[in-house]
Structure 1
């Protein structure tokens, strides 16, 4: 990861206490997104998770989880020359889907993926903003595998080290730009 990406995250991610509910400290990434240089550095750093040591792209698709994962995964997919696939909250996709329900840090959720979004054998990078409990990543990995895809790694801006995200995702390779 570049120093520019780490500096951008340290400087431009704002803690918002008690959002969306009391006791949760929300990591607001919108100031980083509004800064072109910072956003570019972060996308470049996230895209390294989809390349091998020689810089060759090793993924066919990049999956972004609703909603902030969309903002990050789509430009990562462009940087890698790969397709982008959205994973949405239940009821948001118009065609046949696979669905997985899971626990969040502060509730329950169900995610869906179009059944034909990923072909069998395609290599997939999962991209999201924050790794907290790991439930969203684990659910997304299940969705990818339900299509026959292979999750080859996950890239996130921030890992909340005081929550069990890393343990939840097991041996799925994890690329983190900043641990808090």
Structure 2
């Protein structure tokens, strides 16, 4: 229930589109349940921009806990905590609010759609940890194993529902 898009967002990148899976009620429920099982014990979910927002909110609802949207740079009003990282096709920045949400000492699990090179996940771990959270693990729907992204966050436990 996924779609592969060649040369997006740049030539040579094989984009894995999970939109068809998320639009299917049974697929979304199955993914939510599986990700929630991986997130058991957390008291906050951090959903990564943008599909991680959808998945993270669903998982948090299933677990009865809150969700924190980890945004791409420039989308939040200041002040923010931020982390810049490398993508396979450039650089990017993640941000969370510096005020209004206290994550210090909280057990946080990170939810995202795809683990590729590990840059986004690694930056999220650094950002959340620097803000005082205890990142207890991460869960993704799809892991692209040939890109070795898991190594970027070792020894953090990462749960993948599907690997290619």
TM-score in same-fold range (> 0.5)? yes
Aligned to 2:135: 151
Query: Structure 1 regions of 5+ residues with no counterpart?
Result: 1-11, 52-57
- After the TM superposition, which residues 1-180 of structure 1 pair with which residues of structure 2 at under 5 Å, given as runs? 12-51=1-40, 58-116=41-99, 117-180=101-164
- CA drift of 1:143 comes to 1.2
3-state SS of paired residue (1:74)? helix
TM-score, normalization: structure 2?
0.96
- CA drift of 1:119 comes to 2.5
Number of aligned pairs?
163
3-state SS of paired residue (1:153)? strand
- CA drift of 1:118 comes to 3.9
- CA drift of 1:164 comes to 2.0
3-state SS of paired residue (2:151)? helix
When the two chains are superposed, the root-mean-square deviation of aligned CA atoms in Å is 1.0
TM-score, normalization: structure 1?
0.88
Give CA deviations for 1:107-152 in whole Å, capped at 9, x if unaligned: 1001101124342210000000110110111110111112211000
